[in-house]
Amino acid sequence: MAPANSLSAWSDLQAHHESVGKTIVLKDAFKSDPKRFDKFTRKVTLPADISSGSNGTDIIFDFSKNLITEETLDKLVKLAEEAGVEKKRDAMFAGEKINFTEGRAVYHPALRNVTNQPMKVDGVDVMNTKGGVNEVLEHMRVFSEQVRSGEWKGYTGKKLTTIINIGIGGSDLGPVMVTEALKHYGAKDLTLHFVSNIDGTHIAEALADSDPETTLFLIASKTFTTAETTTNANTAKTWFLEKTGGKGDIAKHFVALSTNESEVTKFGIDPANMFGFESWVGGRYSVWSAIGLSVVLYVGFDNFHKFLAGAHAMDQHFQKAPLKENIPVIGGLLSVWYSNFYGAQTHLVAPFDQYLHRFPAYLQQLSMESNGKTITSDGTPAKYTTGPVVFGEPCTNAQHSFFQLVHQGTKLIPSDFILAAKSHNPVSNNLHQKMLASNYLAQAEALMVGKTAEEVRAEGNVPEELVPHKVFMGNRPTTSILVGGLIGPAELGALIVYYEHLTFTEGAVWDINSFDQWGVELGKVLAKKILKEIDEEGAGSGHDSSTGGLLGAFKAYGGF
Ligand SMILES: O=P(O)(O)OC[C@H]1O[C@H](O)[C@@H](O)[C@@H](O)[C@@H]1O
């Protein structure tokens, strides 16, 4: 594919940005077009049998508060066409090796293919082959039901009531985020810990809270070679064997979620207690795979299945909807519009939902590990900016911390606001929910309409020298996502996949490989070298004076 800036739709958009984009005033656009909301709002409906509402759940994506006209959207769609977004999407769903730097298919949609469409990689039916998607799912169902019912017992015959998932990156963020988001559905008699950091505090605190007789360890690692995970897993194993005086049965207390059977076996886990998946599942896309076992244990298999089904519904929308109606495509194109034509460097995602408090952290890996790339498909550097810095926190908290900058700072920060119409906790007769919703609506409105100097003065009693400080420029774009009911497993699945395919669309336009992650390697290699040097005499070799100086100081102060 060609670099994005060589496409004719790109130059067309540049001209359009000069003539229209730069001058569009959103509040005026709403005044002059009463149908603007309808024109730029898209909806998916999750069917009743999977959704949390008895009539199905609509999820509304309101793109109308973005800096676009109908012409802009047409031109962005043209860019998607010229960049081959549809072709690339179809190649992904056909199991082609679109992860071209690793020679791999990108086939995580198969993991949530609950309607069992034929899906093949290298001619192999990945759904029904031995060890394939359906078989692993069945293993997850059986195992989770045994653990949840107490039929699966620890080495002294007790029910397992503490689950410690040891994993990092994609083997941690998905399970953490989803179990938090679906806490309402979680088994109340299970305690979950997620240990990811190599900082010994993380595993030590989890172990301090746990009883070896009732603890189940899930060692989650696609490669089973990640230093943090193998070190934490070995520490956990040593703790378990010490605490049980060597009587503890690893087979009853340790399972592996991985693609690497030989390393799993070397660690001492019986392959019968391994839940596998394939190399075509990227780490950041792996919560749908065996890596999601903690989710299954916590919320139960039926809920996990609904989670997959909600994701599948969004996959089908992405596959079938024409580009102009295609919700993740529009989201991705808007990101391109702001990044490449307005110079926006960031993207804020603010869920107005406490259960979604880890959603932005999850999206950071999804987006920034996927599209934090410079090199395009022909091996040359992109001459345009690529993946934005994604950040966020739940609201209303974020409003009381960094929203000052979003409202009055010098940067353009395209923002997504997410709200569910219904709360799982409608306490105080829904007072909290109504206040939450009023903030969700008010923030997007305030960011758009702003406040002029005249309006500030009209409030009265404002000293003239304070007027400029109280002005809000407005015209700051937001996308409002409204789940027309509760956020249950299916709704969450669909929301995640919206962002997955938004990220796909961005990468497809930018002509980069969204599916490798070479950028995490260099630091790992250097850390290995330095780890050795900590145990050797001196302050290492071949380092710059800062690294060498800090290494020496660390050894001196730390007594190493
Ligand atoms: O599951 P693993 O193999 O332990 O990898 C954990 C993480 O490691 C690296 O940082 C990256 O490759 C991530 O994409 C991955 O999620």
Contact 335, 347 (CB under 8 A): yes
Ligand 1 centroid distance, CA of 159 (Å): 31
CA 16, CA 22: separation in Å to the nearest integer?
A: 9
Look at residue 483 in the predicted model and tell me its pLDDT.
98
Ligand 1 centroid distance, CA of 224 (Å): 9
Angle at 280 between CA 106 and CA 224, to 5 degrees: 140
Pairing relation of β-strands 57-62 and 478-483?
A: antiparallel
CA 350, CA 385: separation in Å to the nearest integer?
A: 23
Ligand 1 centroid distance, CA of 520 (Å): 9
Ligand 1 centroid distance, CA of 270 (Å): 22
CA 223, CA 264: separation in Å to the nearest integer?
A: 10
Q: What tokens does 102 get?
A: 């690793």
Contact 477, 413 (CB under 8 A): no
- Residue 223 Cβ contacting ligand 1 at under 6 Å: yes
* Backbone phi and psi for residue 156, each to the nearest 5 degrees, phi listed first: -105, 10
Q: Which of 213, 369, 491, 500 is catalytic?
A: 369
Residue 535 neighbours by CB distance under 10 Å:
8
Nearest to 281 by CA among 253, 260, 254: 260
Rg (CA), the chain: 25
Backbone region of residue 420 per phi and psi (left: phi > 0; alpha: psi in -120 to 50; beta: other values): beta
Atom of ligand 1 nearest to the CA of 286: 16
Residuewise pLDDT in 10s, the chain (560 residues): 789 999 999 999 999 999 999 999 999 999 999 999 999 999 999 999 999 989 999 999 999 999 999 999 999 999 999 999 999 999 999 999 999 999 999 999 999 999 999 999 999 999 999 999 999 999 999 999 999 999 999 999 999 999 999 999 999 999 999 999 999 999 999 999 999 999 999 999 999 999 999 999 999 999 999 999 999 999 999 999 999 999 999 999 999 999 999 999 999 999 999 999 999 999 999 999 999 999 999 999 999 999 999 999 999 999 999 999 999 999 999 999 999 999 999 999 999 999 999 999 999 999 999 999 999 999 999 999 999 999 999 999 999 999 999 999 999 999 999 999 999 999 999 999 999 999 999 999 999 999 999 999 999 999 999 999 999 999 999 999 999 999 999 999 999 999 999 999 999 999 999 999 999 999 989 999 999 999 999 888 999 999 999 999 999 999 99
Q: Which of 524, 528, 529, 536 is catalytic?
A: 524
- Is-catalytic flag, 400? yes
Q: What tokens does 21 get?
A: 């984009």
Look at residue 1 in the predicted model and tell me its pLDDT.
76
Ligand 1 centroid distance, CA of 196 (Å): 11
Q: Which of 87, 247, 400, 411 is catalytic?
A: 400
First-to-last alpha carbon distance for the chain, in angstroms, is: 53
Look at residue 227 in the predicted model and tell me its pLDDT.
96
Residue 8: strand, helix, or coil: helix
Atom of ligand 1 nearest to the CA of 228: 4
- Residue type at 96 in one-letter notation: E
Contact 511, 82 (CB under 8 A): no
pTM above 0.90, yes or no: yes
- Residue 169 Cβ contacting ligand 1 at under 6 Å: yes
Residue 440 neighbours by CB distance under 10 Å:
24
- Residue 279 Cβ contacting ligand 1 at under 6 Å: no
SS3 content of the chain, % helix, strand, coil (to 5): 55, 15, 35
- Is-catalytic flag, 369? yes
Distances (CA, A) of 554 to 319, 432, 528, 542: 53, 49, 16, 17
- Residue 259 Cβ contacting ligand 1 at under 6 Å: no
- Residue 517 Cβ contacting ligand 1 at under 6 Å: yes
